[in-house]
């Protein structure tokens, strides 16, 4: 289940808000300029689906948000726990950084943790299947895919070179909890 927890930046152990109500999440995130919504597939997506099949299932929403925000490139990224580079990939995103374009991700499957650092607060957003998050450009944040990453996401870009992170050099990300997804079973 998706979740938003808000912390004061100096108190990473006690959230001032914790909610899984998606409407409340969207309202709280809107205050800091972050867009959060849910999408439904128009056709079934099976494990191992090809990127074009994934994008076809969400075509109307992809086209809508691309037109609204001027995206030029859309792709699908899929990371499984058995990926030999998963630990290296996880480390790439764990330190606070920002982008010079909005970072927009839609979770087709699996989950991940976006953590945003805004005005003395830390917003921890657990995104799961069906969640779209749009983080405004220049918003300091980090992303944790967990120790055994498992997700499929649609990514949106306005710049042709895709993901470019500008790291802040702070240690704030190390002071907050890492993502440990619940095990199904």
Res 184 pLDDT > 90: no
pLDDT of residue 45: 81
pTM: 0.93
Average pLDDT over all residues of the chain: 92
Over residues 5-32, the mean pLDDT reads: 97
Q: Cα separation of 149 and 110, whole Å? A: 8
> What pLDDT is stored for residue 35 in this prediction?
97
Does residue 64 contact residue 134 with C-beta atoms inside 8 Å? no
Assess whether pLDDT exceeds 90 at residue 46: no
Residue 47 has pLDDT above 50, yes or no: yes
Q: Where do we find the tokens 């079934």?
A: 44
Domain ranges of the chain: 3-165
The pLDDT tens digits for 64-123 are 999 999 999 999 998 888 889 888 889 989 999 999 999 999 999 999 999 999 999 999
Q: Using the structure block, give the residue that is written with the tokens 């925000």.
A: 69
With tokens 């995130």, the residue in question is 29
**What is the mean pLDDT of the segment spanning 163-177?**
92
CA distance 185 to 92: 29
At residue 173, does pLDDT exceed 90? Answer: yes
- What percentage of the chain carries pLDDT values higher than 90? 76
* pLDDT for position 105: 96
**CA 19 vs CA 129, 169, 173: distances in Å:** 17, 30, 21
pLDDT at 185: 47
Q: What are the structure tokens assigned to 44, written together?
A: 């079934």
Rounded distance between C-alpha atoms, residue 67 and residue 84, angstroms: 36
Note the CATH architecture for domain 3-165.
Sandwich (2.60)
Mean pLDDT, residues 162-169 taken together: 84
The owner of tokens 């921890």 is: 124
Angle at 142 between CA 63 and CA 107, to 5 degrees: 35
Is the pLDDT assigned to residue 162 strictly greater than 70?
no
Beta carbons of 146 and 166 less than 8 angstroms apart: no
Q: What is the pLDDT of residue 43?
A: 82
> Mean pLDDT across the stretch 118-131?
97
Quote the pLDDT of residue 145: 94
Q: Which residue has the higher pLDDT, 28 or 46?
A: 28
């Amino acid at each position: 289940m998706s979740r938003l927890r808000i912390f004061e930046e100096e108190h990473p152990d006690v959230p001032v808000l914790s909610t899984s109500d998606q409407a409340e999440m969207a309202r709280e995130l809107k205050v800091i300029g972050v867009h959060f919504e849910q999408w439904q597939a128009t056709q079934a997506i099976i494990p191992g689906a090809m990127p074009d099949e994934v994008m076809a299932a969400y075509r109307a929403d992809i086209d809508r948000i691309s037109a609204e925000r001027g995206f030029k490139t859309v792709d699908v990224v899929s990371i499984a726990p058995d990926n030999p580079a998963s630990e290296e990939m996880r480390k790439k995103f764990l330190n606070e950084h920002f982008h010079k374009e909005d970072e927009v991700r839609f979770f087709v499957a699996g989950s991940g943790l976006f953590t945003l650092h805004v005005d003395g607060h830390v917003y921890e957003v657990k995104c799961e299947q069906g969640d779209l998050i749009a983080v405004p450009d220049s918003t300091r944040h980090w992303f944790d895919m967990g120790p055994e990453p498992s997700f499929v996401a649609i990514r949106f870009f306005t710049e042709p070179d895709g993901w470019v992170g500008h790291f802040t050099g702070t240690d704030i990300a190390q002071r907050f909890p890492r993502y440990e997804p619940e095990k199904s079973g």
